[in-house]
Amino acid sequence: MEPSREDSAAVERIRRRIREKSESYRRYNFSEAQHALLRTFFDLAQEYDAMEDFYRVCVLAPHEFLGVESRLYVLDQARQHLQLVCSSTTGLVQPPQDAPPVLRLTCATYELGDSCFVPIHRKPSVIENGGGRRDLTELVLGMLEVYPASRLTTADRFFLRKYSNRIGYNLHNRFIAQQNIRHLKFINNLVMDIEHNVITPNMYFKHLFNQLRKRIKELEEVKKRFEQLKATAKPEGAACEDLSQRLAALYDDLSANHHELQEHHAHYSLFLESLFRRDHFRKGHLVLRPKSCSIEKEIIIPQLEHYVGRLERRGIVVEQPRDMIDEEVPLVVDVGLLSQVYANLFSNAVKYTDEIVDHHGIRKRAMAYGREYLRGFFGPGKDAIKFNVFTTGRHLSDEEAGSIYKDGFRGERGKEEPGTGHGLAFVKHVVEIHGGMVGYEPTAEGNNFYFILPLSDGAGDEAARQG
């Protein structure tokens, strides 16, 4: 198999760097002891996981191979102050001690008394390649003090700069690893907090809704009783009729509010459950909870009801398929995650559907959805269903069409609407972990955004009979 153009370029780039490094080491002309020090440092930096042991290696290696003493100072990021963390003579400094005021943080080697201070760069290549202007603390992680400086030759000083760079690379990676560990611990604690403080209390809304429903029921009974009294007692007509209408309007409004609250609660409860599952955070990726469901009835219609008001306010007509529910084949999917797929597609429809003049000469602004059966799409005997969400409007450019599912990408029209460019990337991720694929295609009157899901065994025959 031939390598791709991108891979070939990467291989050549790395080969070039290998040759450059080989030539650099030849020019450095390090002594045997210096080469042995670097090899030992590389090995032990991988062997010792604890940061304290790494500090010890940094100061003891020069002593063993070069016969010099050293102290390691690391920048306290919170206080932006150098701290002594380890010494070849006294070992680990616990707790770290603030460096004396005369010791300064720089990007260049300098001498103070009979000590040579060498900067420990975070990314030496940024300095060597003339990167953009950056704060000193973004470039230097600390300082390595080596003494007595009077015993150091020019070649020794050059070697120590290279050695401190190796310390910097390792120290930077260890700081990042520590930061990631803290981050993961925070996320795990956050998940437990969300479960305890958000998801569980969220269930109390059901109790409140039941109470509201009970009061509405009582109001309905009062309304019925009032209608009975009005019919039998025949009180003052105009006043009674006005009171009756106000009572009926209050009942209708409360019932509508109750329904809207329930729908909104169900909508976001589903999203909370599917996004904040502990398994996602424990395994480091989205974990499916698949079940057999009717896509239109259980996923599309509930999401459409959530967006229909916004679509109508923008003058967008929703064109629904006539036969999708009757002919739908149950699929095994994660209802919560796939609901968010449609939520993102419908949200985009609200923002980006444009008015067009159709082939009858009629102006319209419309969104439609549907599905079609694809026999053998994923290979012989591996059938699929394509789900479409169509919107009227001008076509995407070739650049937009090739990038819309990339995280953070926003087209020209996207700049006029609020958003992050994450929605379609989320759609792509969810569909792909279901074993499917996403796509875009221009149509005669607009744009079709689709995704294709594989059919489970036996479902393909049922789809074929219905199709």
pLDDT at 203: 67
pLDDT at 69: 96
Using alpha carbons, list the distances in angstroms from residue 436 to 202, 325, 345, 447, 451: 33, 22, 16, 20, 7
Compute the distance between CA of residue 240 and CA of residue 331 in angstroms, rounded to an integer.
55
Residues of the chain with pLDDT under 70: 1-3, 123-137, 186, 189-204, 233-239, 323-328, 412-420, 457-467
pLDDT at 128: 41
Q: Are 288 and 337 in contact (CB under 8 A)?
A: yes
Compute the distance between CA of residue 367 and CA of residue 447 in angstroms, rounded to an integer.
10
pLDDT at 410: 75
Structure tokens at 370: 């549907």
Compute the distance between CA of residue 387 and CA of residue 368 in angstroms, rounded to an integer.
11
Assign residue 381 a region: left if phi > 0, alpha if psi is -120 to 50, beta otherwise?
left
Helix (H, G, I), strand (E, B) or coil at 331: strand
Closest by CA to 64, choosing from 84, 82, 39, 81, is: 39
Using alpha carbons, list the distances in angstroms from residue 391 to 13, 147, 442: 45, 73, 10
Sheet-wide strand order for 446-454: 317-319, 366-374, 384-392, 446-454, 437-442
pLDDT at 451: 97
pLDDT at 239: 65
Q: Are 276 and 187 in contact (CB under 8 A)?
A: no
| Whether pTM exceeds 0.75 | no
pLDDT at 388: 96
Backbone φ and ψ for 8, nearest 5 degrees, come out as: -60, -40
pLDDT at 416: 64
The amino acid that residue 40 corresponds to is T
pLDDT at 464: 46
Tell me the per-residue pLDDT of 74-106, one tens digit each, with 9 for 90 and over.
998 777 889 999 999 999 999 999 999 999 889
pLDDT at 135: 65
Compute the distance between CA of residue 226 and CA of residue 228 in angstroms, rounded to an integer.
5
Q: Give 279-330 as a 3 state SS string.
A: HHHHHCCCCCCCEEECHHHHHHHHHHHHHHHHHHHCCCEEECCCCHHHHCCC
Compute the distance between CA of residue 224 and CA of residue 390 in angstroms, rounded to an integer.
46
